[in-house]
Structure 1
């Protein structure tokens, strides 16, 4: 009996550790099915600024990293970057942002049966909680593709990722990885 409990406990710990260590970006997309992209060969930026809506607190160095990562990701897919948007098959733009978030977990740590009145009384039990508060930053990147001939949106891809402190100190690798994951959906 004790052996089975230990096996279950170790399996639960392993699953939880796996969830924590794989903090990959959540990536998804939406496509306009009325426009075919099979003939696309060239692309350009939608506007000179490249970013569709620049956040107030944008880091200009970070913006250049994102601009370059997006260009390189589309080039790696076989598309050619052209300077004149009117001569391109499609144009691209993006939005970016981050938000500080707080996650609070409240887990019961002990139970006492009986009839207790006052704070913590619940169905004949007093429950003591362990509260764990985590502060973190969540970043979001969205890339948009527009058809030049029809002037219609064709594709919208996005990623949301919890940003680790090591990625804040050296963001280039994380930016490249997230951009490639989003563009791979196109």
Structure 2
């Protein structure tokens, strides 16, 4: 392959890996002892809707989450009812964020072309000194998490717990509604 083709392939791989690190990771856990196929109606578990709100929760963002979750369940064909005792299942959620730090350490020659750059063997040839330096990068970022819980009204048992975690970007912070709706739909789509 020509060096240009190698460069293009390397850029595509780096771009794909970069996109993957900023997508939401979605998963769920299910209580298999309770059948959910007959569910048609839902209500909020509590009047406040959120399970345990943080002291510093943004009330505007909370309203967005409330609405997004309601709309996602309605879009799946469930009907929202006011009285929880008349519903097939109830829902609640938790939301939060955490500052994280990621530290990477690579041999100094790692970035010079698959480790075969100048200095791979200490800059002295194959039999030269094997010591080489390292390059360390430190990145700080915020990871957000949303978890949605479903409870069976008849048995008062937890039925389903779905969650998503996502590294929040500056775009997510500037326009949170689109990102939030996308994540809620991904989480709720796991419930059936």
Q: Settle same-fold status: TM greater than 0.5.
A: yes
**Contact 1:96 1:139 survives alignment (8 Å):** yes
Q: Which residue of 1 aligns with 2:82?
A: 83
Q: Which residue of 2 aligns with 1:177?
A: 182
Q: Which residue of 1 aligns with 2:170?
A: 165
- Within the candidate set 121, 131, 146, 1:141 is matched to 146
List, as ranges, runs of 4+ consecutive aligned residues in structure 1 with deviation greater than 2 Å.
5-13
Q: Deviations over 1:89-116 (max 9, x none)?
A: 00000011100111111222244167xx
Give the total of aligned pairs.
176
Q: RMSD of the alignment, in Å?
A: 1.8
Cα deviation, residue 57, structure 1: 2.3
**Contact 1:113 1:126 survives alignment (8 Å):** no
Q: Which residue of 1 aligns with 2:15?
A: 17
**Unaligned stretches of 5+ residues in structure 1:** 115-123
| TM-score, length of structure 1 as denominator length | 0.88
**Unaligned stretches of 5+ residues in structure 2:** 110-118
Q: Which residue of 2 aligns with 1:29?
A: 28
| TM-score, length of structure 2 as denominator length | 0.85
Following the alignment from structure 2 to structure 1, what is the Cα–Cα distance between the partners of residues 7 and 76?
45
Aligned runs of 1:111-130 on 2, under 5 Å? 111=119, 112=122, 124-130=129-135
Following the alignment from structure 2 to structure 1, what is the Cα–Cα distance between the partners of residues 12 and 54?
39
Q: Which structure shows the higher strand fraction?
A: 1
Cα deviation, residue 24, structure 1: 1.4
